[in-house]
Amino acid sequence: MSARQFNPPSRSPHPLCGLIVSVLWLFVAGALAQSAFAPGDWQSWRDFRGARALDASAHELFVATGGGVLTYQISRGRWDDPAAMGHGSFEAIPIDDALLLIYDQRYDNLWVATRDRLLKWQYGLNRWEIAARGVWTFGERPVNIGFDEHSLYVETMPDHVFETLFSERPPLPGPNWMSIVRRYKGDLQSGNMLLDLAPDVADPERVIWRGLRSKVLIEDAQYPPGIMGRLPAGLPYVFPPKPYSWLNDGTLLDPSGRPFPITDWLLDRWSNFWSTHWGAGVLKVDLRSQRSDQLLAGPAGNDIRALLFLERELWMGGANDEEYMGISVFEGYGTGWRFYERRDDSQIRSTQIEDLAFAGEQVWLATADGLLSYFPRKKLWKRYDVQDNLQAQQITALASQGNRLWIGTVDGLSVMQVDVGSITQIPADGFALSGVRDIALLDSFLYVGTEGGLTQVNSRTHEVTRLPLDPGLVNTAVLGLSAYGHDLWLVTAQGLMRWAGSGETTSWLAAVHMKSALPTCVEASDPYVWVGTETGFWRFDPERNTWDSYSRKDGLVDDHVHVIREDRGDLWLGTAGGLTRYYWSRPGASR
């Protein structure tokens, strides 16, 4: 029998190979397209000024806040990006209302207790997971978290009892709370917890705690030479950054006498004293030089309805009209924050912001009580009211056109000549300009979305024309407008509509294309149109007629989207629960 000759394959593949490769590629591409979750492509901010708890590793400091978790690289002297949404294995993990945290050096895990769940952050892997959910019942508040060699512990007490015992925020808790707590115990690696039916209410030496149990008197021997603590908690005397002053019990006072009580503190191995303050963020004091620094991060209120991009700043505002809330400015898109409250200037009567614009070297703000302007070079505020010829006191929309500012109100439309400050009302018959919701400029026309539909205004002659909506949509309130190229895009409660420059209209019903989500806003760009809704947002490709949805599972900080803006290739989304930046055009890029 002759030996079998081996013939190498020819350069031309078998016809089935191409088919198999194509099928595999379609399968992989389809699988990737099913989820928009990609760690690192999303960054979010909430109001992080409500700082509650601290813990430290050898090189990092971790802070639990009402907005999420903050991390400071002690040896490098810088803050990492805040963690409002954590990177999970398959979807983003919300870090809502962090109350306590503790770092386990042996397993490199940070444990975070929130109102209703226990989170584990595998720090070295930057991977978050929900370790336990619904273990402590509604109305219980975690007050201690700790671990020993094998187990993890969380102690809770009724929330109303906590508020009663600690209403005055004393730095050192009394002993009354120990008989009230309920303890949960679980595995130190998995965090799987159950109620401890026979807890030892004493403080066992083998357990490392953070929370009420860790708030003890600091002895002078723990400080560097020359530093002495002061009663009642042995805290050092601190010279805080201006404009604050420091009380011996750790309370910060602002110039108007408002207190910001201390909520936690620690000394790190680098001779730094750290303290957290509810409403005033994090304070770092170098005990060797007595230099102090303060971190105030995130917007002054989580409701973001308006965004304005300047060269070096991002202005934002929303329904944040309560005490300690206000208008927020993101400096350098990541280097710092500043805030403006009603008490900061007599001209500011409301910090409920519906829109923002820039004209005549001034920032203009549509508020619930007048039109505000801010002149950055002079740091000067000025308010315009109905006596200045506005149609109404409640301003709802703004649009700048050269040296003119178009002003929409609940009762009509006006235009201001910014250089002289004169305001002219735009007359209209019936309800053509009543209840202005949004304004967009396209060519020489102004398009106004109102409670009654769509209105066109000639920007030169001020001629007003009511425009019909596409037959596919019911004539109803226009909730958002966006002009791009020669097309006008708008959203109503029924869906999305395009008004082409030729006058042709096309509509896409929300019930068909957006799973019946209620549209709230729209941002047109190249090549996509972005539509915000009350349950996330959608990316529409007009060329391919395809729709992709995004939500909290992907990294969005809150599903109720108020405003979408594209800037420098990134997408910024203001929501009812904070601000999100989505790096859609440069996924996976080093930032």
Compute and round to an integer the Cα radius of gyration of the chain: 28
Distance CA 292, CA 245 (A): 12
Q: What is the pLDDT of residue 308?
A: 98
- In the chain, which residues have pLDDT < 70? 1-37, 39, 199-204, 588-591
Please choose, from the candidates 494, 497, 519, 515, the residue with its C-alpha nearest in 3D space to the C-alpha of residue 506: 497
Q: What is the pLDDT of residue 179?
A: 86
Taking a C-beta distance cutoff of 8 angstroms, is the pair 256, 343 a contact? yes
pTM above 0.75, yes or no: yes
Q: Domains, the chain, ranges and CATH?
A: 42-225 (no CATH), 308-442 (2.130.10.10), 468-591 (2.130.10.10)
Q: What is the pLDDT of residue 334?
A: 73
Q: CB count, 10 Å around CB of 347?
A: 15
Q: What is the pLDDT of residue 86?
A: 94
Digit-coded pLDDT (tens) for 139-174: 999 999 999 999 999 999 999 999 988 877 788 998
Taking a C-beta distance cutoff of 8 angstroms, is the pair 550, 539 a contact? yes
Distance CA 522, CA 518 (A): 12
